[in-house]
Structure 1
């Protein structure tokens, strides 16, 4: 039976699979939204706790995910729940593969797709990774000998658990600068057969030891040592387990996934010295003392920093070639893609992101937005702000490489458990969209069998995007919004005019530490202090769009019609900017000068001063100096200089905006209004995505760089209309917390109607008649009905059932409209805790799930008496609070169990009761 399944999967994927097909641009409906394909919908990381899954429950939850508007799932097996061990399935066992095949088949039948973690928990590792293939670290030991002395102890590691540590180098350093390689003089007994004839000598031994790190949050069958990512043989050993389990045949998995690089202390691999010699051109064995240096000595700081820069560049090459590219080639042989979180890696993030099919960033924590009414409780958030510039490393790698999809692990620890509203999700996901991300993955959804009591099985760092969440009945509101946005943000190509070089060698040239893992959580150390970051923030603020370039990317960049081309399908850039940097490779500088010679515009904020590393240092310095000496700049305008070469020009000046203006590279002045934006280029023109994260209504006319016929598209309501234009300016009304798309077409397109602007408000009609509140779904018990003369939190009734309740309450009332004469009517729900679904006169208006809780309802109204029904869902928080007060056991997992936002034992018993339901005031405003 299993063989038949394999053959079926092979046939289906040989028939349907194509890398380009998996990253298609949206097919646009005439004058409307692009057709929503499954990769445009939000996906979710799907934790299989203990792999305790069965076909019946998988069928049920996949249907629920599909109905809620999810486009796919990413299977990540993790630790299990206590007491259910007899339900566990070993990872990659025949039973596990049967569950995978069922999931893929059923998901595909529902119009969904499946990604899969190439492992369990994180990082990669498992039972088949023996010590020789496990993550490796450099261990050094220092000895001292005087003239005539012999070393009487064996040269071994003085660290527990390092019996297998392999001596890789033994180097002696004399007082007069002598360096001797003593490695050949070490006997089988590990004793050194050498004695100095004069002076005092320091001897440094270098060992390849083991980190002993094991897979974190591993699932059954996935426990074991972490992989040595730097060694190709070890990576091949790791992947062979999968290939063997799969029978070397495709499994129907769209993409294999790798989480953020969290391989702690893995500073070495046994082949490091050989690779270093080949790549850097000198023997690292001669510099073991400098490699072990703390970097605090002023007299040695420069040479130590240079050596460690070369060491870090070698780490980068090993990780890129032996792991990232190797893993991607393996996945392609199985007709699947790779999706990788490169951040945290000890390498050039741009190249590591660029080596996979779908680069993935992540946001951890929450951002501050001055949106009116947006809740941000200090006790419920982590002191971490997601940085849009960090997210642009992933999107830049995709844009410059011609890749369509850029994903994100989204909402990790956005708030404390059970307190995350859709309103809080919305601006965070919009900030990702503005950074170029267009393929959202929720973090996440825990698979929970149907017989598990509420709240079901839960992951410790999740926003609980699952059917047990009391918000779930209205999750389609958020999901559909994301799908509409991504249908456009995956269309065409990104439209970024600037390419900015990332000076990685300035980052690597640091005497402190060894391997440098560039983490999302450490941007204040390696990113924020740099001139590169400050320039990016400045250019973004004044209305420029850009991507980042690495040295490797520039090597293959060409110039076509004075535009920079980074790949066959990549974005064409108008200029290359080199931020202020201390160090640059002569080869990179010469390539940049060559791009200018072939017609490009190049801007140096300042000229680089030196070359990185120690390899052939003086010769490379001469090369750099010679190249710089050819740049005979002349004053061009106040504040900057220029050098004409071939068909192009190189500019030098700190005021980048002035130089861009001089070259007629325009900024988007729409940012002066307080709006943020990103653009996409399509065959008929361009899309603008406009976001108002300010505290004010923005009602203004905008000048757009792209000229043409403008259509407004509202991704929250799907309403489309032709914009009003005057003297090439487009009128926009956009409330605090709202977003709009503008489609600018070169030729007119037929739309249903003109956009209705809300210009002349009349007195609002207060919906202050009696409301009947009826509870329909939720627990622990349905509260009794309430009759409300004034809207209030349903927890204010004093009824214990209402205070403990998480679920759905339905409000019903009536109101009168004397005459339906206004051009539009806007329903304002006031304060909603937390999401609402509205019907007027029996017709559904839609889900009003975020700030501002408003909707245009003119088409639903009738003169005279009208009925209104509002279904409101609240947070899970009050019910969890009640369970912890009553000491009802609901969290009992292996490994980390369940923790709060500060990684302490979770206990909601001291929480305040969260407001719930519709508190209003509710009104309808006519606009004439």
Structure 2
């Protein structure tokens, strides 16, 4: 639908009062609030401590916790509780009961540390690998060497066995000799001519154990490709949980980080069943580094088999088991050697992960190079693998492990967290889990127990007094993103066979930590980037999903509860499955629109590939393409198929409209609800957006909603465009509805502002809370950070809250006043005339305060909370012990020994001017 109205928006527009009117915000459940990964160090928890921390989290605006037991703190060994022991289950029951009383939810990991594994994983169920040994043999030579495993680490294992023995001559002719090897390793075969190389494949074990395991959780990692291993593993939880789920909402499995697991005991049989031929004859091409077409085809089949095994034998079994407990499951598919889209789609709550820090152009946003990991940056398109799978299959929640290693320890401000959260939301994710919070006993001094790779969302953090500002923002935004369905219009096929056909390597894990190798160099990624910036909304789709898709109600739909899509794009690729092409032609026959960026060149895999290639070409030639300007198009049944290297031109040809608002640099995500649509819009540019922008949908009434403070109002409207004035770093939600609601007040627009009143009179600085000690009070001639006062050494080491206070006379009248901070280190609570006027924690650092001001004398207090960094610096300089953990003690962002003693003092408090800006609304 073309937009009918102009919406005037302004970052300086506020809808005051009238909060008793009909509220357009969706009702927020605890899933709309942020949740946090909750590490139980050594599981050294008790009821008093659990009660205290859950209550503290609830008051701060958290909706739930995700329990992950890990290694413990030294000196507390007598407090450790073994994982899943009766005592541990008692603590879990207390936790879920307390959480329920606070209206919070509880998830828990199915294991300790990561990846999944533990003491119940015996040798048979442990992660498995192939061990390859080669031998040379001359013609007519009696082979005297025995084919036995040489690996000393494996020799004592009982499950090791010889799986495949195949010999190749110089012409690459193969003879499978597996049944010619006696139990003692003697080979009963000798060639009659030529030189031969024997490849012997043994079923071995990776011997990897759970990293960062908690007491009672240590053991081998799991063989994800074995259904028996998965079922055996989960029996331990059946025993501990009995017929109850103990109040667990969702059972969680962390990212796949099983190294070297490239085989399973019955892989050879599974491969033949699924791929149609015996791998034994071609084992050389799998295990060698030969870069040939044949090697690529064998490896493609191998990788596809791995993908199917982890999907069916682990992921689906995990989901079914969680359902048997009347719970849900959450799974991080990334890192797996499988089709991520299918793996994410096979669970209740797909979960992605962000690691590192993004470079945003937001004016004033801090990003010190010495405090970040420059090698890894979160990528919105990597996050879309999880949201795409959920959107297509109709999963209401998509979660994210958020802010892992956002900056160096103790140096992350809430203003740095906000744009990272916004990027996560813009990817389609709607259920954030902070990474994270560590349980700390009440008698442990500052900084409490800490996890080594965390942004510190802990009550001991000196920034904690203002975390409610961030949490409320997340809650309001997620309440919208969870209440609507995805309104993405485009499906983009992921050409995974082009990845799988790579003749290099063996197993292929799609990790978030190496997307520069497997994702960034592809045309697929180039399309995702280009279309996203152009204003198109899309999800990624797999072969399996295409096979399940139908064309109904003028749209492509995979699941009854999933998204509806106007077009399917097949990006430029080399390898394409003929069943997938057949499924696409069926969709087109029924009315679907399809864009091919290029003609598929070949089929993947080895089995009867020439016959399948002919079938692919035969299917392709059935499309009656005609030249149509710069592209080719064909009417196919009731549908349309377009062939064009320029995907955007093809979308224009099919009249798929982009949202032109992205031409300004604004980012958006669109959701649909019964009777309208939401737009979540973010300004991550360095400039203020002050211009008319179009919306593709406007409905009959438009409400503006500010997710930072909850204010709302009905917008003024005219034809064809929306006027937006958003400052750098701000966001807005537009609710376009078909049903007008006359009870909602009008949004108040700023028409002009007067010259600012600068609060440059003397200020009193006192210190409210924090440590190691409170600095002395001071009278300031001008505003400045408390760290400027080097003569008072306590100001250099203090982390906590300092209070700047003054009074001023106000004689000027205005519709409202904006309190604007020049520099704020790092967040603040504003109190005017004894009334709480709100928190300032994100860029731009300003807040509307008109309703708290009066004519004549006014008092103002600004309670500023700084980073933990200066106090940690002091502790390290004075060699005060605060990190004392088993296994990994504490590391910095580069995984080297942490030492803050040489850090610069981080500026703390207020700097520059504070202005009071008079605001006048249009009538």
When the two structures are superposed, what TM-score results if normalisation uses the length of structure 2?
0.96
Match of 1:106 in 2: 98
Cα-to-partner distance string for 1:78-109 (whole Å, 9 max, x where unaligned): 00011111111000000000000000000010
Q: Distance in 2 between matches of 1:581 and 1:335?
A: 43
Q: 1:168 aligns with which of 157, 163, 167?
A: 163
Shift of 1:117: 0.2
Query: Superposed, which structure 2 residues align to 1:133-172 within 5 Å?
Result: 133-163=125-155, 164=157, 165-172=160-167
Gaps of 5+ in 1: 1-27
Q: Is residue 874–residue 916 contact of structure 1 (8 Å, CA) maintained in 2?
A: yes
Say if 2:812 is the partner of 1:819.
Answer: yes
Say if 2:204 is the partner of 1:212.
Answer: no
Say if 2:843 is the partner of 1:851.
Answer: yes
Q: Distance in 1 between matches of 2:605 and 2:778?
A: 74
Match of 1:373 in 2: 364
Q: 1:287 aligns with which of 263, 282, 289?
A: 282
Q: 1:362 aligns with which of 341, 353, 369?
A: 353
Say if 2:194 is the partner of 1:199.
Answer: yes
Say if 2:870 is the partner of 1:875.
Answer: no
Q: 2:763 aligns with which of 768, 771, 778?
A: 771
Shift of 1:755: 2.0
Q: 2:794 aligns with which of 794, 801, 805?
A: 801
Shift of 1:730: 1.9
Match of 1:500 in 2: 492
Cα gap change, 1:31 to 1:61, in 2 (>3 Å) = closer
Match of 2:504 in 1: 512
Query: Superposed, which structure 2 residues align to 1:80-479 within 5 Å?
Result: 80-163=72-155, 164=157, 165-296=160-291, 301-383=292-374, 384-479=376-471
Shift of 1:176: 3.7
Query: Superposed, which structure 2 residues align to 1:656-675 within 5 Å?
Result: 656-675=647-666
Q: Distance in 1 between matches of 2:567 and 2:880?
A: 62
Match of 1:5 in 2: none
Q: Is residue 22–residue 744 contact of structure 2 (8 Å, CA) maintained in 1?
A: no
Match of 2:543 in 1: 551
Shift of 1:668: 0.4
Q: Distance in 2 between matches of 1:342 and 1:51?
A: 26
Q: Distance in 1 between matches of 2:454 and 2:250?
A: 22
Shift of 1:133: 1.1
Q: Distance in 1 between matches of 2:167 and 2:900?
A: 60
Shift of 1:684: 2.0
Match of 1:654 in 2: 645
Q: Is residue 722–residue 751 contact of structure 1 (8 Å, CA) maintained in 2?
A: no
Cα-to-partner distance string for 1:1-27 (whole Å, 9 max, x where unaligned): xxxxxxxxxxxxxxxxxxxxxxxxxxx
Cα-to-partner distance string for 1:782-825 (whole Å, 9 max, x where unaligned): 111111111111011121111110001111111222132x2222
SS at match of 1:489: helix
Number of paired residues? 895
Q: Distance in 2 between matches of 1:632 and 1:683?
A: 40
Match of 2:740 in 1: 748
Match of 1:14 in 2: none
Q: Is residue 255–residue 332 contact of structure 2 (8 Å, CA) maintained in 1?
A: yes
Q: Distance in 1 between matches of 2:163 and 2:449?
A: 48
Shift of 1:752: 4.1
Shift of 1:29: 9.6
Q: Distance in 1 between matches of 2:132 and 2:200?
A: 5
Say if 2:617 is the partner of 1:597.
Answer: no
Shift of 1:402: 0.3
Q: Distance in 1 between matches of 2:804 and 2:585?
A: 68
SS at match of 1:903: coil
Q: Distance in 2 between matches of 1:306 and 1:271?
A: 21
Q: Distance in 1 between matches of 2:686 and 2:380?
A: 20
Q: Distance in 2 between matches of 1:809 and 1:261?
A: 44
Say if 2:681 is the partner of 1:693.
Answer: no
Q: Distance in 2 between matches of 1:769 and 1:275?
A: 79
When the two structures are superposed, what TM-score results if normalisation uses the length of structure 1?
0.95
Query: Superposed, which structure 2 residues align to 1:710-749 within 5 Å?
Result: 710-749=702-741
SS at match of 2:293: helix
Shift of 1:310: 0.4
Q: Distance in 2 between matches of 1:752 and 1:643?
A: 49
SS at match of 1:658: helix
Deviates more, 1:219-228 or 1:168-177: 168-177
Runs of 4+ residues over 3 Å off in structure 1: 28-31
Shift of 1:522: 0.7
Q: Is residue 268–residue 279 contact of structure 2 (8 Å, CA) maintained in 1?
A: yes
Q: Distance in 1 between matches of 2:574 and 2:328?
A: 38
Shift of 1:759: 3.1
Q: Distance in 1 between matches of 2:585 and 2:667?
A: 34
Deviates more, 1:794-803 or 1:323-332: 794-803
Q: Distance in 2 between matches of 1:424 and 1:656?
A: 35
Q: Distance in 1 between matches of 2:818 and 2:530?
A: 38
Q: CA RMSD in A?
A: 1.2
Q: Distance in 2 between matches of 1:663 and 1:307?
A: 39
Q: Distance in 2 between matches of 1:694 and 1:509?
A: 39
Q: Is residue 88–residue 220 contact of structure 1 (8 Å, CA) maintained in 2?
A: yes
Cα-to-partner distance string for 1:196-235 (whole Å, 9 max, x where unaligned): 1222211111111111100000000000111111101111
SS at match of 1:868: strand
Cα-to-partner distance string for 1:328-352 (whole Å, 9 max, x where unaligned): 1001100111111100000000000
Shift of 1:691: 0.2
Say if 2:529 is the partner of 1:537.
Answer: yes
Shift of 1:696: 0.6
Q: Distance in 2 between matches of 1:825 and 1:730?
A: 25
Name which structure has the greater RCO, CA cutoff 8 Å, separation 6+: 2
SS at match of 2:31: helix
Q: 1:572 aligns with which of 564, 567, 570?
A: 564
Shift of 1:192: 0.9
Query: Superposed, which structure 2 residues align to 1:774-923 within 5 Å?
Result: 774-798=766-790, 799-820=792-813, 822-923=814-915
Say if 2:73 is the partner of 1:73.
Answer: no
SS at match of 2:753: coil
Match of 1:631 in 2: 623
Q: Distance in 2 between matches of 1:825 and 1:570?
A: 46
Shift of 1:478: 0.3
Q: Is residue 148–residue 184 contact of structure 2 (8 Å, CA) maintained in 1?
A: no
Gaps of 5+ in 2: 1-19
Q: Distance in 2 between matches of 1:30 and 1:492?
A: 19
Cα gap change, 1:91 to 1:622, in 2 (>3 Å) = same
Q: Is residue 723–residue 731 contact of structure 1 (8 Å, CA) maintained in 2?
A: no
Q: Distance in 2 between matches of 1:295 and 1:783?
A: 68
Shift of 1:488: 0.1
Q: Is residue 170–residue 181 contact of structure 1 (8 Å, CA) maintained in 2?
A: yes
Q: Distance in 1 between matches of 2:142 and 2:244?
A: 59
Q: 2:634 aligns with which of 620, 643, 663?
A: 643
Match of 1:3 in 2: none
Q: Is residue 701–residue 731 contact of structure 1 (8 Å, CA) maintained in 2?
A: yes
Q: Is residue 576–residue 602 contact of structure 1 (8 Å, CA) maintained in 2?
A: yes
Shift of 1:632: 2.1
Shift of 1:753: 2.7
Shift of 1:315: 0.3
